[in-house]
Structure 1
Amino acid sequence: MFKLKAPLAFLFSCFCLLWCTTGAVAQGKMKDLFKVKTPKIDYVRPDTTILIKYEDFPDDDSDADQSIFFNPKKQLSIVSEDTTELDLGEQHIVEMSEEVLVDSTWIRIASYYAIWDTRNINPYRMDSRQLKDTVDIQLYDPKQNRNYNMPLVKTPITSHFGARGGRWHYGTDIDLDTGDTIFAAFDGVVRINKWDGGGYGNYIVVRHYNGLETLYGHMSKAIAQPGDFVKAGELIGLGGSTGRSSGPHLHYEVRYQGNPMDPENLYDFPDYLLKGESYQITSAVFNYNNRSRSSSSASSGRRAAYHKVRSGDTLSGIAKKYGVTVSQLTRLNGISSRTTLRVGKSLRIR
């Protein structure tokens, strides 16, 4: 047996240490090979798209009634950006991206532009009746560790999606006791946590990986905040009877691009499960729109469009923006051409 000289012995020891360390690192890499990072949100400036609020019930300021009556003046654009007249509150166009860790490097696997709005339930400007393609939605995927959870521990239905009391009910009502835990239905990011005294009460909207959004209304306490990443089954609020509610229950909605769908097409509530791992969305899913709008028109007798007055607005400027005359605005609103416009007031334009 020969003996190494001191310098060679030192080098040999370093080599052994390096070999062991490399092996340990390699094992760590294999563990994290498919580790998924929380979605990244990069904010960019929005364009000057103007939202016109359509109301079938002009005297009701509830978010529930306003949530499907939005129409853009022009198409959304992320190329032409002019923010000189923009005041849409907390609305942004954002770039959403998902990344996966491969060999110690985060690789982008999906990227798309979307509207991120923390105030309006439906800012997406999609007319569901014009949907041409079939959209395949993967509701949950255990292989990707994306699961689902029922919104409550028990799900007895007290009211269904459909016509109710002269207007349309856009969700499923589920019985609960005040203080009961409400869970996120799928993985996603909280988009809205808001109070709506004339409708939803305390409510939350969550945007999910699978392209859907879920809404949870009438909570006694909304806990999760906008921007929070939540996993399916995570606590987001407590049950209650706030807003326009006759008793404790959860008003639960499922939406695609802002358009409500009947939750019972996806869920078997009595058996406490989803009907399948995937769901196909076509324009037929939203056929109720024609019935709901005709029902609303019959009860209200008319349909009007409103503009919410912003700082710097003038009657002549508003008239020019919407292609109407100043005299038409004064006649519709019972004001004179010299009336001072109050910021935040809704001005009827048609």
Structure 2
Amino acid sequence: MREFGYQRVGDVAEAVAVLGDDPEARFLGGGTNLVDLMKTGVERPARLVDVRELPLGQVESTADGGLRIGATVTNSDLAAHPEVRRRYPALTQAVLAGASGQLRNMATVGGNLLQRTRCGYFTDVTVACNKRLPGSGCPAVEGEHHNHAILGASEHCVATHPSDMAVALTAFDAVVCYETADGPGELPLADFYLPVGDTPHLETALPSGALITGVTLPPAPVAARSRYRKVRERASYAFAIGSIAGALDVRDGVVHDVRLAFGAVASRPWRAREAERSLTGGPVSADAFAAAADAELAAAKVLPHNGYKVPLMRNLVVAVLTELAEEAAR
């Protein structure tokens, strides 16, 4: 591990200024991903700027009926918050599915959004990886890729994004708030993660030196009846091989509103907008749910060992929406 400095900051302006003066510094929240990557040599910051004491640890209702979640809110506190559980139950379920209690007690909302892929080629500095070393190649395409992307990938990178929380936030149109030396800014989560293209090393649209200060969830009545379902290769805590955040509003047997986002299928949380369009205004049935999933997954490009994700995600869509429809009918 590279020797590094450590500095604790007391306010947002100081944090942004420190990073502006030292481009090799990194913000430190819970450190549950960053410190691991420092140990393997993937991340080599010259200084860690500890932001855990910043006044960004609250979950608050907004004037329009949404929620504002501070960047240093721990995953445990987020999952347990009564308003999150009531208004966005899929978000609570996603956070609880994401890691053990010990990790949730440390991990922060801001850090969760910025966590990096667990692709074995990315985390091994002895092999090539376009995400880690641009232009070096993507050995996963011809190598180990059974848990890699089927949507939105390119020949330059087929890694997947590891966050469960971000999948649920994507389904509910979350907005990322940040601070720079030039002032505050916002990015819809749909625009926060960059497409892979030929620059997989560029992962987010966050401006250089920016500090995430929070996430805003707009009011979404449909989210009150929502669910997160995660499939993994072992019952203990593990990264998803496929996951879905779904919400459904049914009126008189017709889909009035629906939200769907997929996890573990792309380099970013995947909003299933084609499936949503297919369902909205249509009947509630298993056949309609399956057809919507097929419409979304028609763009899938599979590799020799990850094609199983197409029927897996299809089945997840049908199962979750069927359960939500049955709840609505009670």
Task: Identify the TM-score tier after normalising by the shorter chain.
Answer: under 0.3
Structure number with the higher strand fraction is 1
Structure number with the higher helix fraction is 2
TM-score of the superposed pair, with normalisation by structure 2 = 0.26
TM-score of the superposed pair, with normalisation by structure 1 = 0.25
